[in-house]
Amino acid sequence: MNELVRLEKQDGVGVVVIDNPPVNAIGSGVAQGIASALDAAEHDADIRALVILGAGRTFVAGADIRELEELAAGRGPGAPKVHALFKRIEDFPKPIVMAIHGTALGGGLELAMAGHYRVAVADASVGQPEVNLGIIPGAEGTQRLPRIVGIAAAIDLCVSGRPIKAKAALDLGLIDEIVPELRSGAVAFAQKAAQGPHSKTRDHNDRLGDAATNAPLYEAGREQARRIRRNQTAPLAVIDAIQAAATLPFDEGCLAEHEIFFKCVVTDQCRALIHAFFSERAVSKVAGISKDTPVTDIRSAAIIGAGTMGGGIAMALAGAGISVILKDTDSAALDRGLANIRANYESSVKKGRFTPKFVEERLALIQPQTSYDGFASVDLIIEAAFESMAVKKQVFAEIDKIAKPTCILATNTSTLSIDEIATATSRPHMVIGTHFFSPANIMRLVEIVRGAATDNSVVATALGLAKRLGKVGVVVGNCRGFVGNRMMFPYMREAVPG
The residues annotated with a catalytic role in the active site are 110, 130
Q: How far is CA 287 from the centre of its chain?
A: 25
Show Cβ contacts of residue 180 under 8 Å, excluding neighbours closer than 6 positions. 121, 122
Q: In what order do the strands lie in the sheet with 103-105?
A: 103-105, 125-127, 164-165
Amino acid at 230: R
Round to whole Å and give the CA distance between 120 and 303.
Answer: 39
Read off φ and ψ for residue 464, nearest 5 degrees.
-65, -40
Rounded to 10 deg, the angle between the 107-114 and 83-91 helix axes is: 30
Work out the widest C-alpha separation in the chain, in whole angstroms.
Answer: 85
Asked whether the beta carbons of 439 and 308 are under 8 A apart, the reply is yes
Round to whole Å and give the CA distance between 395 and 233.
Answer: 48
Asked whether the beta carbons of 310 and 329 are under 8 A apart, the reply is no
- Where helices occur in 283-329 by DSSP H, the ranges are 308-319
Round to whole Å and give the CA distance between 310 and 315.
Answer: 9
Asked whether the beta carbons of 146 and 251 are under 8 A apart, the reply is no
Round to whole Å and give the CA distance between 213 and 194.
Answer: 37
